[in-house]
Structure formats: C-alpha cells, structure tokens
Amino acid sequence: MTRLVNVPEDFPAESLRGFVLANKRYVKPVYGGVVRSTATRDGKVAVVYGGGSGHYPAFAGWVGQGFADGAVCGNIFSSPSGAQAYSVLKAADRGAGVLIGFGNYAGDVLHFGQAIERLRAEGIDADTLVVTDDIASGSKDELEKRRGIAGDFPTFKIASAAAEAGKDFEEVKRVFAKANDATRSFGVAFDGCTLPGADGPLFTVPEGKMAIGLGIHGEPGVDEAPLGTANEVAKTLVDGLLEERPEGANRVVAMVNGLGDTKYEELFIVAGAVHDLLEEAGIVVEDLESGEFVTSLDMAGISLTLTWVDDELLEYWNAPCDSPAYRKGSVKQVERDDAVLNNEAAKVTVTETGSEASQAAASKAADLLGEIATMLESKKDELGELDAVAGDGDHGIGMENGSRAAAKAAQALVADGAGLSTTLAAAGDAWSDRAGGTSGALWGAILTSFGAALGNEDAPTENKLVEAVVAAREAVQRLGGAEVGDKTLVDALVPLTEALTTTEGDLKTKAEAALKAGEEGASSTTDLVAKVGRARPLGQKSVGTPDPGAISLVEVARVLLGAL
C-alpha cells in the first residue's frame, strides 16, 4: 500500500525532487526528468530512458556514467508527454544523435514518437529503442506486440555501454536490437499495488495463489496457479523462458527482479534455485543479479529475465557504470556539469492574441473544460475500475489530472487575452503533459486540432463547430492509427462524428444524435482485443467491459451537449 503522500497529483514530481536531492552527485533536474550531473564529452551518442513513474529504479535510478544520459519521468504508470521527452533528449544531446529507450506501451510509443519527430525536424539524429521482453504478453509470432518489463534493465545497460564506448548512432541501435532480441522475461505476482491517493489496490491475488504473466502496471495475468515453494516458482519461470531458448545459445546473464513487496531475502532464494536449474540445463550463468530493478510500487511479485549473451553482449554488460541504483567496476571520476538547465521552452508557448469574439469563445471553452474536469473527477473511480480489468487502472486518474490541468491552463491563457485556438492548444498540451498515457496524448490532440480548426479570429459558428469535431477525429486516427473495430475510443468517436455531420436539424438535434451514436459505439467495445503494449495476455478471452477511453469520450460529449 502506498501511504506516504502529500497531494496525489504531486506525488511523481515530489518524488523526483527528493530523488534528485539524494543523488546530486549523479543527476540534476531538467523539465521532464533528469540528466547526468557529471560532464559528458561531446560526440557521444545520448541514450535516454523513460516511461511512467512507479518503477524505481527504472528509469531515473540508471542515470550516470556508463549508463543513461538522462531519464524522462512521467506520472505514475503513465507515459511522459512528447514535450517532456523532447526536453530531456535536447538536454542530453552531445551532437552525435539521441536515442530514447522504453518498454513497448502504446502511450510511450505515441509520446516518444512525437518527440523523435520534433528532433528530426531540427536535424538531430533521433530514434527509439523499444523493449519487448515479456513472453506472457504476446506470441512468438508477433514479438513486436510484446510489452517491455524488467528486460529494460539489461538491454539498456548493454546499449548504454556501447554508447559510452564511443560507438556511433547506428552501432548503438544495432547493439540494442541484438540485446533486445536476446532478452526474455517472465513474471508472477502475489498481490497488487496501490496508486497514490487510491483507496485500494489495483488488483488482488487470492491468498496462496499467484497470477502468472502479470504486467508491471497491474495488467491481468495469463493464468492463476497455486503459489508453490520458492523452488517451484523458480522452475515455473525458468521453464517458461527456456521454451524460447535460442538455437545453440548456452550463456546467459540471469536477473531475478523483485516488484516491490517481495524482499531481497526471498529473491536470493529464488536466485539460487534459478542458478541451479540453469546449470542443470547445461547453461553457463555468466552473471546473476538479484534485487529490485523494475518495480511496480509495492506490488508483491517477481520476474526472471534471461539475456542470452555472446562475447560482445557480455563485454558491454560487464562494462563499468556508476548510477544511483546500479554500478559495476570502477568508473573514472569526471568533473561535474553544474549548468542549470531550463528547457521550459520545450512546452508549446502562446504568442498570438485572439479577436474579441474568439476570446469570448475561449472563455466559454475554458469554463466547459472546468465542467468536464468536475465530471471526470466524479467518474474517476468508475473509469479506473473499467481500466483495471484489461489495463493498468490509471485511466480515471489520468483523465481527471489531464482535464483539470487543461482547464487551469485555459483559464490562464484566457486571462492573457488568447483566442480559442491558442487557448485550446495550451490546454491540449497541459492535458497531455499531466495525464500521460495514450489517452493523454489523444486528448491533447483532440483539443489542439479542434481549436486549430476554429482559429483565433472568428466566432465559432455551428457549421464550424461540426467541422472542428471532424478535424479532431482525423487527428486522433492519424496519431493513434486505430480503426473502428479496434475497440478504442475511435469506436465511439467515428459514429459520433458521422451522426453529427449527417443528421438534419439544429446543432442540438445533431449533437443529440451524435451522443446516441457515440454511446452505441462505446458499448460495442466490450469485447476488447489485444493492443500493442497493453496486450491482452495469451489465451485470455473477452473481459466483458467496455473500453474506458470510449466511455470517457461519451461522457465528455454529454457535458458538451448539456451546455448547448
């Protein structure tokens, strides 16, 4: 249970601040995360890792010589925004290209992809390193659909060593891809974790049972089994991973990872058993790690990661590094880099003042965002519960945080005389920034594109409002790549938009029809299917609840209809 909290929304930021204070010899803050506080030579490929918070030491605990150049730190279990990733990558850039590594989750793919596009547009070599180690999250035939869990650690360690050794952009990418290909993980959970400010755990596992293949955000497992002895648990994990033993491979780096509440004394017992089982299988254990590497707040559970190494991967694995949470060998001490970083410019800024009519519309939009935030606050638990069935349960909190931040940003811009487009662009940025996750990115895009269609000059007419909704729908589909039938908010958004454009009558009539079509679309999402990164575990069928993103969309539409 997560208990030491001031204000739940501030939990990730306050935690990061304390981390920096306790690790000043390694890191310093920058908008969106941290970078090394030690000097890094020009001409080194920058490697930055990121994702939601709540997984310490992943990712900030790995920033330091020989390991990461920086870390992007989102909200709890929520992707950072594209602007945050851009900011950290810019701060880490030393002129030889930047790489951002993360586990394969839809939100991270979306946000970090946006940051990469922005850097490339500036002429910087930039790319992603996507970890796909979790064998429980997808079949062997669709490796690219697997999510990333504790395999983040060895793959990032190895890629970082290649970058530290002076390898160039393409070579670091090659080494990472090789390490990711060679890395597999498998985990079990014994009990859930509690999000800061939540009343109860994200999920529970019955006493004496274990959830097999459970994700690090509380995603459901493949199966439930009786919790056996430590040796039996070790055997379950080793057997699972040996099913994917590469042809001819017989050297591994093995890592037993504790998810939070499962303690070192227990992990060591499993590590000893894993060691014996691997040796019995004729495998050379080149290194054995046992500890907390990628956690999930105070979740009870463990995972095993195997990286099948050759001389090259082992050399990078064994290379010296020195970070808050992990070190190897002796690194050469370097001078400090005390430059204070201010990358707030990574945020979208507002430069244009709106017409009087557009200012009035912006003011109304800001008020509506406040109403939406109040509605989403009241539905937070319900949306979280829906999301916890197939996802990580953060949808309610994310929508509340995002909409509240958007309303606040909008009010500030209205006070400064911004028009509707600018106001909604800033609101969208704030939503994306605070909400994180896939839905944060999509709602950011909805607000931004909706506003852009209406501009900063004209008062929005009924026709223009309909066109703006269509523009928002297009942005969502362009960005997220989802089609009707994929069981996402698109399943509600497309019929809603269609009804809005085809229904005869005044705006209210059109909107009523649109809401009804949206509701029907949302209810069609109950038979969830696998999505990249938040993959339906193998063998699990429909879970019988609708997609929370589609439900949220309908609820927002209901607020807007009420204001007509």
Amino acid at 269: I
The distance of closest approach from Cβ of residue 237 to its own copies in the complex, given in angstroms and rounded to an integer, is 11
The reply to whether 230 sits near its own copies by the rule CB under 8 A is yes
Contact set for its own copies, span 115-154 (CB under 8 A): none
Residue with smaller CB distance to its own copies, 17 or 120? 17
Q: How many CB atoms lie within 10 A of CB 41?
A: 10
Beta pairing partners, 34: 29, 71
Q: How many CB atoms lie within 10 A of CB 497?
A: 22
Give the x-and-dash track for 310-329 against its own copies (CB under 8 A): ------------x----x-x
Contact between 268 and its own copies per CB under 8 A = yes
Tell me how crowded residue 52 is: count the other CB atoms within 10 A of its CB.
28
Residue 183 CA to residue 132 CA, distance in Å, equals: 8
Cβ closer to its own copies: 330 or 351? 330
Taking alpha carbons only, the member of 466, 465, 549, 558 closest to residue 517 is 558
Contacts with its own copies, 279-298, as mask; x by CB under 8 A: ---------xxxx---x-xx
Binding of its own copies at residue 538 (CB under 8 A)?
no
Residue type, 47: V
State the pairing for strand pair 70-76/46-53.
parallel
Among 9, 16, 159, 431, binds its own copies (CB under 8 A): 16
Candidates 29, 50, 52, 54; binder of its own copies (CB under 8 A) is: 54
Contacts of 166 (CB under 8 A, 6+ apart): 43, 44
CB 107 within 8 A of CB 436: yes
Q: Contacting its own copies (CB under 8 A), which of 211, 253, 302, 309?
A: 302
Least Cβ distance, residue 277 to its own copies (angstroms): 12
Least distance (Å) between residue 337 CB and its own copies: 18
* Burial tier of 328 (Cβ tally within 10 Å: 0-12, 13-18, 19+): middle
217 belongs to the catalytic site? yes
The active-site residue, picked from 55, 111, 217, 275, is 217
Rule CB under 8 A: is residue 300 a binding residue for its own copies? yes
- Among positions 30, 175, 222, 233, the unique one binding its own copies when judged by CB under 8 A: 233
* CB 1, min distance to its own copies, A: 7
Q: Is 2 in the site for its own copies (CB under 8 A)?
A: yes
d(CA 107, CA 306): 26
Least distance to its own copies, CB of residue 405, Å? 20
Rounded-to-integer distance, Cα 302 and Cα 191, Å: 11
Give the angle 341-176-316 at the CA atoms, nearest 5°.
Answer: 90
Which of these, 163, 157, 213, lies nearest to 182 by C-alpha position?
157
The span from the CA of 392 to the CA of 240, in Å, is 24
Q: How many CB atoms lie within 10 A of CB 281?
A: 13
Residues 59-78: x where in contact with its own copies by CB under 8 A, - otherwise, as a string: --x--------------x--
CA–CA separation, 358 vs 23, rounded Å?
A: 48
CA 210 to chain centre: 25
Query: CA angle, corner 193, sides to 15 and 151, nearest 5?
Result: 80
267: contact with its own copies by CB under 8 A = yes
State how far the Cα of 203 lies from the Cα of 387, in Å rounded to an integer. Answer: 11
Minimum CB–partner distance for residue 115 and its own copies (Å): 24
Alpha carbon of residue 452 to chain centroid? 27
Stretch that binds its own copies, among 19-27, 341-349, 391-399, 476-484 (CB under 8 A): 19-27
Q: Does 22 bind its own copies (CB under 8 A)?
A: yes
Considering only residues 174-203, where is the footprint of its own copies by CB under 8 A?
190-191, 196
Q: Is 431 in the site for its own copies (CB under 8 A)?
A: no
Q: Measure CA of the first residue to CA of the last residue in the chain; give whole Å.
A: 44
Residues 325-364 that bind its own copies (CB under 8 A): 327, 329-333
User: Rounded to the nearest whole angstrom, what is the least distance from the CB of residue 8 to its own copies in the complex?
Assistant: 11
Distance CA 214, CA 216 (A): 7
Q: Is 236 a residue that touches its own copies (CB under 8 A)?
A: no
User: Which of the stretches 39-47, 79-87, 266-274, 363-371 binds its own copies when contact is defined by CB under 8 A?
Assistant: 266-274
Catalytic residues: 217
Q: Can you give the binding site for its own copies, defined by CB under 8 A?
A: 1-6, 11-12, 14-19, 21-22, 53-54, 56-57, 61, 76, 190-191, 196, 227, 229-231, 233, 256, 260-273, 275, 288-291, 295, 297-298, 300, 302, 322, 327, 329-333
